[in-house]
Amino acid sequence: METAELYVAGMTCGSCVASVTRALKRVPGVKDVHVDLSRGTAQITGEEAAQQLPALLAALSDAGYEASAKTTAASEDHVAPVSHHSAKATGAGKGSCCCRR
């Protein structure tokens, strides 16, 4: 088993966490997903998780979230989460989140 970690932009509530979790669990080979709303991250465990990054990122994009692979570089290099109001104002995403309609 391998673990991959992604930064996920645009998560603002528990519904976002559920949407991200569902999207990632649909990727073949994913065994477990842990989403941390406060850090804006998703930790994915599965067979060859590191090699599945393109599929994981595509699944999140299809669910309406921007994401990037977490690297060992400085934390400023990650995609910053947007605020609740800006996500609602832009209508970004297709998830079931109340702020994405």
Taking residues 20-24, report their average pLDDT: 98
Structural domains of the chain, ranges and CATH numbers in brackets: 2-71 (3.30.70.100)
Question: Number of helices (H) and strands (E), helices first, in the chain?
Answer: 3, 4
Percent of the chain with pLDDT over 90: 62
Using the predicted structure, report yes or no on whether residue 65 has a pLDDT greater than 90: yes
> Which pLDDT tens digit goes with each residue over 3-17?
999 999 999 999 999
pLDDT score of 55 more than 80: yes
Residue 89 dihedral angles phi and psi, to the nearest 5°: -65, -35
pTM for this predicted structure: 0.74
pLDDT of residue 91: 44
State the Cα angle at 43 between 99 and 7, rounded to 5°. 55
Using CA atoms, how far apart are residues 77 and 90, in angstroms rounded to an integer? 23
Confidence at residue 16, expressed as pLDDT on a 0 to 100 scale: 97
